[in-house]
């Protein structure tokens, strides 16, 4: 019976210490064929992320393809999209850069909230780029253009109303302490160098100049990075630099404007 199968999976997952065992068992049961359930539970117990096993994950109103080699979209990142959409509300057909795009959740998420936006989504990992292109194909109604490139050396023409990024920002020394599920995600999408700030420096040094006058840069940050990122943004000449908190009360999105 259905309930028996879900109950058995729940018990196995719970015994392995998985926090949301009932929810995860239900997700697996609903999304995977019966013959794959046992192997999926084994893989989950071994630390494979639920999202990779399902092959998709919801973000805002989108259902995005995910899997090994791409950072899993997280609900916290929705604040970055919502903030950008609010700031661009009165800007007709805004031109937007999404840097370190990964699955494309930021660029596509913004486009789902601001459908006339034209987004260039830049990602350097070939594995992640395959998911980015797949997700752009899933939502052809949005003008999101994937670009395979490294933000450290890419040359982009034109000026943008917004530069957005959820860059790698975890300190290198912290990576080995992360949950085993998180360690299954690509380390390059997590590690922000020794102090976690490497990519914020790249963004401030290389992409403030890409903004139109009155445009803004908005980035996701770690819970303890507000002061450092605000300082970098201000030193790069951005004005009105401030940080918004997420629903848990943690510093999450830092914004600065070009004069």
The correct answer on CATH 3.40.190.10 for the domain covering 75-257 is: no
Tokens at 54, concatenated: 């399902």
* The pLDDT of residue 3 is above 90: no
pLDDT at res. 158: 84
Element (H, E) at 162: strand 160-165
* The pLDDT of residue 1 is above 70: no
Q: How far apart are CA 174 and CA 95, in angstroms?
A: 35
Q: How far apart are CA 17 and CA 45, in angstroms?
A: 8
- Answer left, alpha or beta for residue 55, where phi above 0 means left and psi between -120 and 50 means alpha: left
Buried residues in 187-204 as b, exposed as e (16+ CB within 10 A): eebbbbeeebbbbbbbbb
Sequence ranges of the domains in the chain:
2-46, 75-257
The strand pair at 160-165 and 211-220 is best described as parallel
* The pLDDT of residue 2 is above 80: no
* The pLDDT of residue 95 is above 90: yes
166-219 per-position pLDDT tens digit: 999 999 999 999 999 999 999 999 999 999 999 999 999 999 999 999 999 999
Mean pLDDT of the chain: 97
Query: Helix or strand or coil: residue 208?
Result: helix
101: buried, middle or exposed (CB in 10 Å: 19+, 13-18, 0-12)?
A: buried
110-151 per-position pLDDT tens digit: 999 999 999 999 999 999 999 999 999 999 999 999 999 999
């Amino acid at each position: 019976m259905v309930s028996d199968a879900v109950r058995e999976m729940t018990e196995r997952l719970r015994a392995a210490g998985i926090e949301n065992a009932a929810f995860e068992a239900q997700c697996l049961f609903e999304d995977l064929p019966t013959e794959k359930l046992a192997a999926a539970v084994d893989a989950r117990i071994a630390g494979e992320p639920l999202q990779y096993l399902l092959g998709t994950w919801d973000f805002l109103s989108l259902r995005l393809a995910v899997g090994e080699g791409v950072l899993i979209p997280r609900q916290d990142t929705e604040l970055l999209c919502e903030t950008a959409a609010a700031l661009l509300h009165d800007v007709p057909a805004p031109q937007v850069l999404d840097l370190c795009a990964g699955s494309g959740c930021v660029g596509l998420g913004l486009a789902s909230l601001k459908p006339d936006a034209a987004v260039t989504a830049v990602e350097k990992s070939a594995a992640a780029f395959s998911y980015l292109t797949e997700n752009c194909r899933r939502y052809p109604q949005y003008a999101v253009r994937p670009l395979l490139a490294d933000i450290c050396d890419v040359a982009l023409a034109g000026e943008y109303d917004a530069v957005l990024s959820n860059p790698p920002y975890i300190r290198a020394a912290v990576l080995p302490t992360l949950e085993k599920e998180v360690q299954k995600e690509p380390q390059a999408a997590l590690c922000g160098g020794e102090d976690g700030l490497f990519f914020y420096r790249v963004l401030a040094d290389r992409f403030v100049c890409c903004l139109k006058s009155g445009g803004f840069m908005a980035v996701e940050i770690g819970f303890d990075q507000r002061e450092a990122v605000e300082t970098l943004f201000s030193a790069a000449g951005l004005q009105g630099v401030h940080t918004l908190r997420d629903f848990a009360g943690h510093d999450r999105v830092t914004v600065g404007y070009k004069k």
